[in-house]
Amino acid sequence: MLMVRAIIRPEKVGVVMTELAEAGFPAITKMDVFGRGKQRGIRVDDFYYDEIPKEMLLIFCSDEDKDTLVKIILRTARTGDGNYGDGRVFISPVEEAYTVSTGKAGL
């Protein structure tokens, strides 16, 4: 089992979540986050913004579904030909997971 964390532009969240649901990945946790990546913030006139709003999506999947899931995120979260600030995708192993209501292990 894997945890996929996608940090993407807020305006791309709707299309990413729709595409994931249509592909069979309806279970998503979404959080508002702030930070900066390689672009190190944005300068607009005399103002410098070093904490840029993003959305973080958490999706859990089987090892076999990882490539499909990541391809959907990369395709739908990208702006134009790809720009700094489009986001990042991180993949981590999950050793165990349990459903609270049933106590059952697994996805």
User: Residue 107 domain-assigned?
Assistant: no
**Domain count of the fold of the chain:** 1
User: Residue 11 domain-assigned?
Assistant: yes
Query: For position 43, what pLDDT does the model report?
Result: 66
- Quote the domain boundaries for residue 52: 2-93
Side-chain half-sphere exposure of 15, counting CA atoms within 13 A: 13
User: Residue 19 domain-assigned?
Assistant: yes
Query: For position 100, what pLDDT does the model report?
Result: 94
* Residue 85: CATH number of its domain: 3.30.70.120
SS3 for 51-62 is CEEEEEEEEEEC
pLDDT digits (tens, 9 = 90+) for 22-45: 999 999 999 999 887 766 666 677
User: Residue 105 domain-assigned?
Assistant: no
pLDDT tens over the chain, length 107 residues: 999 999 999 999 999 999 999 999 999 999 999 887 766 666 677 776 777 889 999 999 999 999 999 999 999 999 987 677 789 999 999 999 999 999 999 87
CA Rg, the chain, in Å?
16
Under 8 Å CB-to-CB from 61, ≥6 apart: which residues? 1, 2, 4, 25, 69, 107
User: Residue 85 domain-assigned?
Assistant: yes
Q: What is the pTM (predicted TM-score) of this model?
A: 0.85
